[in-house]
Amino acid sequence: MEKEQWVTDGKAAFRSVFDGEPDCISVAPGRVNLIGGHTDYNDGYVLPVAIDRHTVVAGRRRPDRTVVAHSQTLAKTIRFDLSSVEQQRDASWGEYVAGVIDALNTESSLGGMEFVITGDIPLGAGVSSSAALELSVGALVRDLFDLQVDDRTLADRCWKAETEFVGVECGIMDQYAAAFGKADHALFLDCQDQTHDAVRLSDDVRIVVIDTNVKHELAASAYNDRVSECQEGVAEFDALLSHTVTSLRDVSVEEFERHAESIRQPVRDRCEHVISENDRVRMAAEALESGDSERCGTLMFASHESLKELYEVSCPELDLVVRCAHETEGVIGARMTGGGFGGSVVALVRPDTISSFAETLHKVYPAETGIEPDVYTCRTSDGVSVSTSQQ
């Protein structure tokens, strides 16, 4: 949907809950990550794309210290006083809202506010509805209270909200993609120094996202287990190598191979995935830069294989979709995106193959799993932006 439409929808959503008009409407995109699975919290590289699925927040200030947030998508309202933000721990969307407000409340004293949240990002599909919610709430608050916070700081505050307030040990990729996404481009993001280059996507491929519509129980605990296994790998390599190792980014493929035998399993496999994946992301960015989408696609398939075999975060449903992709001519690459154990696959597809690929998926996937997949072609999008009601 176009941005103008979102502004109109945001205003309408606001009017359906509150009297009068919102002052600002903010819009933030979801994302898919073309390659770089589980590298962001290891100070590595990722290649996300902001997609044309958005979270919209329309709101205005209040004369008191109360925050009222209504989710149109979930038909739920939360209300809290700014002095008791800390108590908003209900393990749901409200916690993300409270976390962002808490993280921004350090800039200067915020006042009360009321806003409505709407949008079309599928929840739990692995396209980061949470970061889009954080960034859109954050950008709205920044505008309403005229906070002197640049986009990088905003992304960082939203990341802190997720890691420190909500308690998910994620990396910075999702918040960064929602903040800095650029239409027609992927972001080659270095998670160590938090810089990025926009890499143009070629016109000869489309991004197709396939939501498996499964989310296995294991997802949250396995994510945190992988984070600690990688930390163990860092400690091992720091002891083994003559230079300091503060993250797996500091270990080369050659150093890994030299010492692999002495690292216990499954830590060795986890490290091998991360170290080789960083190389794949670099090569994929170079391939896209030079217009070689095929090469990027081949690296995506290799990434999936590594996530499945070495990092062990895939599941039969994700593997089935990637297998279908591999067997369909005109699908040049595919891999799971997001944390894993369900969620979505991202595929690079030739435009004239999209409908036959979708047809195959709608036939094969339900036949094997009993579940209908959601298949959608994504356009790329810019990062978060805010409009005032008058615009």
Member of 104, 170, 325, 347 binding ligand GLA (CB under 6 A): 170
338, 342, 373, 383: residue in contact with ligand GLA (rule CB under 6 A): 338
Give the HSE-up count for residue 305: Cα atoms under 13 Å, Cβ half-sphere: 10
Number of residues in contact with ligand GLA under rule CB under 6 A: 11
Alpha-carbon distance of 151 to 148, in angstroms, equals 10
| Contacting range for ligand GLA; rule: CB under 6 A; set: 33-41, 112-120, 255-263, 278-286 | 33-41
Q: Tokens 């209908």 belong to which residue? A: 372
Write down the least CB distance from residue 192 to ligand GLA, Å.
14
Tell me how far, at minimum, the Cβ of 318 lies from ligand GLA, in Å.
Answer: 13
Query: Residue 59 or residue 343: which is nearer to ligand GLA going by CB?
Result: 343
Q: Which residues pair with 186 in a beta bridge?
A: 199
Least distance to ligand GLA, CB of residue 98, Å: 19
User: What's the closest the beta carbon of residue 40 comes to ligand GLA, in angstroms?
Assistant: 5
Stretch that binds ligand GLA, among 32-40, 58-66, 89-97, 230-238 (CB under 6 A): 32-40
- Per-residue burial over 81-99, b if 16 or more Cβ lie within 10 Å, else e, is ebeebeebeeeebbbbbbb
Q: Return the closest-CA partner of residue 54 out of 25, 24, 97.
A: 25
Phi, psi of 283 (to 5 degrees): -65, -35
Asked whether the bond before 366 is cis by omega within 30 degrees of 0, the reply is no
Q: Is 173 in the site for ligand GLA (CB under 6 A)?
A: yes
Residue 171 sits in the site that holds ligand GLA (CB under 6 A): yes
Binding of ligand GLA by 181 (CB under 6 A): no
Six-digit token string for 361? 């998926």
Residues 190 to 219: which contact ligand GLA by CB under 6 A? none
Q: For 80, phi and psi rounded to 5 degrees?
A: -150, 160
Stretch touching ligand GLA by CB under 6 A, among 171-179, 202-210, 240-248, 367-375: 171-179
How far apart (Å, rounded) are the C-alpha atoms in residues 144 and 127? 27
Q: How far is CA 233 from CA 250, 304, 318, in A?
A: 11, 21, 27
> Whose Cβ is closer to ligand GLA: residue 37's or residue 138's?
37
| Of 94, 119, 339, 342, the one binding ligand GLA by CB under 6 A | 339
Binder of ligand GLA out of 9, 23, 40, 269 (CB under 6 A):
40
Give SS3 for 296: helix
Shortest distance, CB of residue 214 to ligand GLA, whole angstroms?
Answer: 16
**43 binds ligand GLA per the rule CB under 6 A:** no
Measured distance CA(203)–CA(349) in Å, rounded:
11
Q: Which of 30, 37, 48, 59 binds ligand GLA (CB under 6 A)?
A: 37
In this structure, what are the phi and psi dihedrals at residue 200, rounded to the nearest 5 degrees?
A: -70, 135
Name which of 246, 110, 121 is nearest 174 in CA terms.
Answer: 121
Active site residue 174: yes
Tell me how many degrees the CA angle 86-92-97 measures, rounded to the nearest 5: 55
Stretch that binds ligand GLA, among 16-24, 30-38, 204-212, 289-297 (CB under 6 A): 30-38
* 52, 114, 174, 211: residue in contact with ligand GLA (rule CB under 6 A): 174
Q: Between residues 41 and 188, which has the closer beta carbon with respect to ligand GLA?
A: 41
18 binds ligand GLA (CB under 6 A): no
Question: Which tokens belong to 277?
Answer: 């994946």
Residue 41 touching ligand GLA (CB under 6 A): yes
Q: Is 253 within 8 Å of 275 (Cβ atoms)? A: yes
Q: Which residue among 40, 174, 211, 269 is the active-site one?
A: 174
Q: Which residue has the tokens 């072609």?
A: 377
- DSSP letter string over 47-63? -EEEEEEEEEEEEEE-S
Q: Does 38 bind ligand GLA (CB under 6 A)?
A: yes
In the complex, the smallest distance separating the C-beta of residue 19 from ligand GLA, rounded to whole angstroms, is: 37
Q: Which is nearer to ligand GLA, 172 or 348 (CB)?
A: 172
Closest CA to 128 of 165, 199, 177: 177
> Is the CB of residue 128 less than 8 Å from the CB of residue 338?
yes
Compute the least distance from the CB of residue 177 to ligand GLA, in Å: 10
Interacting residue ranges for ligand GLA, rule: CB under 6 A: 33, 37-38, 40-41, 170-171, 173-174, 338-339
Q: Active-site residues: which are they?
A: 174
